[in-house]
Structure 1
């Protein structure tokens, strides 16, 4: 189970770095740029924090919150008209939430041990 979480943490770091650096090749406004940079850095840091301390489950929950914030940022920060920046936020946000949920202790225990309705139950 630990190697699975390590892979998820690495994916979170890559997603965060991608989002944080994406304003370098995307057309953005100041709001779009700062949303992608700040939320990208927070996603990457939550992945790194979980790598450093795998028992720190708050990093998974924080990562999920950052993913949701990333997903809604184009509407909240009013850059949904910028297709590249908004699609980056939406895709990275959804993938971050998926990674965070799959790394949560209860979900990963069910998925990997086949317990009561998990993915591996059959």
Structure 2
């Protein structure tokens, strides 16, 4: 594992999470939504971005990737659970951002585990 992946603010998986979260949170600005869809996307998007920032700041914190995966799943199922599937743009944004968040979290898990092990050796 390269040293760069264990330093704060350097992990591309976490930067991807921040970008995905920001896009999801801001997407109601350009998508048709109702109040429920808007707030669901804003809150989950902000939580995804915040989790990414925390993971960037503390690369040895393994549970951040688990939180990321859970938030991605929540964003993916949100159109059905929160009943906004009639808003195609909002639904597709939730589905795509949710899947990308889960993929980024799963891909970051080995990197976070290595950073955690490295942090424990110091």
Fold-level similarity (TM above 0.5): yes
TM-score interval (norm. to shorter): 0.7 to 0.9
Please state how far the C-alpha of 1:106 moved relative to its aligned partner.
7.5
Q: Kindly indicate whether structure 1 or structure 2 has the higher relative contact order, using CA contacts under 8 Å at least 6 residues apart.
A: 2
Aligned residues: 108
Given the alignment, which residue of 15, 19, 25 partners 2:20? 15
Give the aligned CA root-mean-square deviation in angstroms.
1.8
2: distance between equivalents of 1:71 and 1:65?
A: 10
Q: TM-score, normalised by structure 2?
A: 0.83
1:1-122 matches, within 5 Å, as 1=1, 2=5, 6-105=11-110
Structure 1, unmatched stretches of 5+, are 110-122
Q: Could you state the TM-score of these two structures normalised by the residue count of structure 1?
A: 0.83
Instruction: Structure 2 unaligned segments of length 5 or more: list them.
Output: 115-122
